[in-house]
Amino acid sequence: MTDVVRMGVVGAGTIALRGILPHLSQEDVRDRVRLRAVCDPVPGRAEAAAARFGIPSAYSTLEELLDEAEVDAVSIASPIGLHHLHGKLALEAGKHVHFNKTMTTTAAEATELIELAASKGLKIVASPGEVLRPQNQQIKRLIEDGALGTLSWAICGSSFGTYHEDEPEREGQGGIGQIDPSWYFRKPGGGPLYDMTVYNLHALTTVLGPARRVTALSGVRIDERPYQGRVLPTDADDNTLMLLDFGESLFAMVYGTADGHVPTSYFGTTATITGLELNGAPIQYTGWQIAAQAPGWDGQQWVLPHVVGPHRHIDEQHVYEDIMQLVDWVRGDGPRMVTAEHARHVIEIIECAYRSAETGKVQELATAF
């Protein structure tokens, strides 16, 4: 238990520059968390981020940060393929850890980190915290209360499009030079499942609980992507369709694709939820009046408990929320709803989907939360 959590940030890429660092440098959180260090292997990037956000220490490696900086916890914002290694190093150094999605790329890696944290009395919060959203909790209640009759099936997912190539930070906006998006399209950790569909899987399993089995088709649909006059090769699958079995013949289709979008929907025998509407009528959830006042998608973030004041006007509010879940827990208020065990289950779904696509066999899931 501590009054103010001293925080280090691992990686000064897009998520850190437009989300983590702006939020954690706000005056209104200084009584709970202080930015103490940042590291990034790109020469000069950590120093530039430190100067911009008033961070005392900048390093080129995580090892230097852990050896020299006075931090209680770290937020890992490096490429997903490095999360297991970076998380293990931080836990071995006695630091609490917030993982930006996705915590690891395999369930075995996640189990290793969960057991390591437990052995050292350390805390892990793993994004994305879809369980915190009152929208998802209200959908869960509606289904459990029979508002849809008997739930038959569901569909959800996300697609890449050209989102990462078009981010402002990729064009050098933000004052720290162009940030190359290549890793999003490469193994390990690349592809829309680990990067985007992970949100849908966390929301779906928040509503329906753990899945039991998964089968999938998967492959690379776009093998090269243009970026700033270059061509980025793609070797991580970018086109995956999954079928999840939740037991008792309740199924869900989940996609992580190169492009295209279908709204999240739950289909019952008497009614359907599409997005945040029940048979076309808006769903009223805790904070919906606040959400209605916000521009665009921001309203879906404004209902999160820590997203108040200036944080409503800074990007990546949900990432800030998950970090503050760890901060609160370290300060003595816990345990939290955003768990590493939930993250591990979603990771196993993704891992087993790829294995199913390779083998042509249905995969039984071993984890729950």
Domain that holds residue 220: 130-310+345-364
Q: How far apart are CA 33 and CA 25, in angstroms?
A: 9
Q: Which pair of structure tokens corresponds to residue 133?
A: 């959203």
Q: Nearest-CA neighbor of 77 among 123, 109, 38, 119?
A: 38
Question: Is 192 in contact with 240 (CB distance < 8 Å)?
Answer: yes
Residue 369 resides in a domain: no
pLDDT digit string, tens, across residues 288-302: 999 999 998 899 999
- For residue 267, the one-letter residue type is F
> What is each CA distance from 41 to 46, 59, 61, 232, 347, in whole angstroms?
8, 8, 6, 21, 27
Which CATH number belongs to the domain containing residue 114 in this structure? Answer: 3.40.50.720
Domain identity same for 119 and 139: no
Domain identity same for 27 and 105: yes
174 pLDDT above the threshold of 60: no
Domain identity same for 57 and 161: no
Preceding omega of 192 cis (within 30 degrees of 0): no
pLDDT of residue 112: 98
Domain identity same for 122 and 146: no
Domain identity same for 213 and 359: yes
- Mean pLDDT score of the chain, rounded to an integer? 96
Which CATH number belongs to the domain containing residue 135 in this structure? Answer: 3.30.360.10
Q: Which helix (H) or strand (E) covers residue 342, if one does?
A: helix 340-359
pLDDT digit string, tens, across residues 303-343: 999 999 999 999 999 999 999 999 999 999 888 999 999 99
Question: Is 126 in contact with 340 (CB distance < 8 Å)?
Answer: yes
Q: How far apart are CA 241 and CA 219, in angstroms?
A: 10
pLDDT digit string, tens, across residues 117-136: 999 999 999 999 999 999 99
What is the tally of structural domains in the chain? 2
Residue 350 resides in a domain: yes
Domain identity same for 30 and 89: yes
172 pLDDT above the threshold of 80: no
Show the beta-strand stretches assigned E in the chain: 5-10, 33-39, 57-59, 73-76, 96-99, 124-126, 151-159, 213-219, 224-227, 230-233, 239-245, 251-257, 265-268, 272-274, 277-278, 281-282, 363-364
pLDDT digit string, tens, across residues 13-33: 999 999 999 999 999 999 999
pLDDT of residue 173: 58
169 pLDDT above the threshold of 90: no
Q: Nearest-CA neighbor of 148 among 210, 208, 211?
A: 208
Domain identity same for 220 and 354: yes
| Length of the chain counted residue by residue | 369
Domain identity same for 99 and 118: yes
Residue 340 resides in a domain: no
pLDDT of residue 297: 83
Q: Which pair of structure tokens corresponds to residue 188?
A: 């390990």
pLDDT digit string, tens, across residues 218-253: 999 999 999 989 999 999 999 999 999 999 999 999
Domain identity same for 178 and 201: yes
Domain identity same for 244 and 234: yes
Domain identity same for 167 and 247: yes
